[in-house]
């Protein structure tokens, strides 16, 4: 009986020795207080007014000096007619030192006006790119209201800029 108690005691001792043998002796430790800051500042512009977008008249995204930030309640765009075009410009200031991928998506806000007809008049689009580190990247796309677009009013197009996205590979 005593041999069993001695055997169990030795097994417990060996188990404890194995556990503490791999831990080592703590000499010093350091705690870091870190975080992640938002590297992007984004501004928007819509080029073209009361007619088609014309780069010779309306300029290009790189020429534009009238930028709106996301705190603006609405960028003045006004109603458009079928086959009229505008150009949406997005300026991304990347304060980070590394290049960061981004996407720019246009989406019709649901619950506003006639959602189905708004999506026919203003098709949803997504652009992908890479914002160079410590610099300004300007991107944009011209869009045209389809000739067969229904008459709608009150459509709200939401522009979303996301960072750190995976850029799809073309087939």
Question: For 116-169, what is each residue's pLDDT tens digit?
Answer: 899 999 999 999 999 999 999 999 999 999 999 999 988 888 899 999 999 999
Q: Is the pTM higher than 0.85? A: no
Rounded Cα distance, 92 and 102, in Å: 9
User: Which CATH architecture is the domain 40-163 placed in?
Assistant: Sandwich (2.60)
Angstrom distance (rounded) from CA 159 to CA 171: 26
Domain extent listing, the chain: 40-163
| Spatial separation of the C-alpha atoms in residues 139 and 24, rounded to whole Å | 55
């Amino acid at each position: 009986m005593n041999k069993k108690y001695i055997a169990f005691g030795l097994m417990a001792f060996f188990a404890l020795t194995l556990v503490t043998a791999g831990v080592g002796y703590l000499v010093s430790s350091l705690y870091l207080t870190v975080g992640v800051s938002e590297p992007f500042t984004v501004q928007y512009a819509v080029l073209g007014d009361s007619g088609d977008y014309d780069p010779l008249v309306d300029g290009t995204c790189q020429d534009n000096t009238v930028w709106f930030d996301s705190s603006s309640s609405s960028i003045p765009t006004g109603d458009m007619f079928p086959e009229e075009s505008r150009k949406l410009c997005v300026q991304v200031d990347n304060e980070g030192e590394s290049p960061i991928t981004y996407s720019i998506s246009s989406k019709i806000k649901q619950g506003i006006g006639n959602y189905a007809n708004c999506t026919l008049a203003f098709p949803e689009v997504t652009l992908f790119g890479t914002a160079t580190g410590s610099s300004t990247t300007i991107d944009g796309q011209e869009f045209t209201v389809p000739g067969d677009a229904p008459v709608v009013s009150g459509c709200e197009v939401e522009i979303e800029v996301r960072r750190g996205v995976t850029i799809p590979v073309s087939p």
